[in-house]
Amino acid sequence: MDLDALRKLAGITPTKPLTSLNIDQAIAERRREMMKNVMKESREETLELQKLPYKTSELAPVLSKENVEYHYNILSAGYVNRYNNKEGDADFNYGGAKLHNLFWQQLKPAKQSSNYDGYAKQTIDANYGDLKGFTEALVKEAMTIQGSGWVYMTKTGTIKTTPNQSYKTEILMPIDMWEHSFTDYIPAKDAKSKYIEGIIKLIDWDAINRRLEV
């Protein structure tokens, strides 16, 4: 590829000094912009708030009825409505809608059992030894979040965080770490860890296994 073609690809004008460094930087930036555009084009035009597969009272005592109803009916629904109505930041609302749908659909009533087995167990045990080790790793990673965000597991079992409502396609099992999520545990100093330990008890492992099969 000649220099003129590189200039065109990188978006560098003829009057701008040409070096391998600024070409690489410009090309990388152009690729990032192209990827963002591809992601935006692949988004659904409208979203829906998926119905809870349980009653709002059935996550207690891990999450109170009041907590669930506020979080689901007001906050989660808000992201969906604002995205569909093209109000506010589209990226923020899209991420909020997608993350919350994943979050609510992976939970089951507190009194209902769920077998920790299948692909989920294989993936987690291979990376963390057992469910206890996985939970401890989740807590440790969640503590690195500055401000608001989510801690999540990828399909390969890696634990990561994402800020605010930043959605990524690699997110398999997200746990909301915004303060409104764990208000039931405040003001305890270990509110976040108790909340995460509680959420793990609510996980529907059949739902997680279905996600791993896709």
pLDDT tens for residues 179-206? 999 999 999 999 999 999 999 999 999 9
Q: pLDDT, tens digit, for every residue of 53-107?
A: 999 999 999 999 999 999 999 999 999 999 999 999 999 999 999 999 999 999 9
Q: Taking the CA of residue 60 as centre, how many other CA atoms within 13 Å lie in the half-sphere pointing to its CB?
A: 10
Residue with tokens 């057992």: 130
pLDDT tens profile 103-129: 999 999 999 999 999 999 999 999 999
pTM, rounded to two decimals: 0.81
Measured CA to CA, the distance from residue 11 to residue 58 in angstroms comes to: 56
Domain coordinates in residue numbering, the chain = 3-41, 65-213
Domain 65-213: give its CATH code.
3.55.40.20
- Is the CA virtual torsion 158, 159, 163, 165 positive or negative? positive
Q: Is the pLDDT of residue 20 over 80?
A: no
Residue for token pair 């009057």:
15
β-pairing, 149-154 with 171-176?
antiparallel
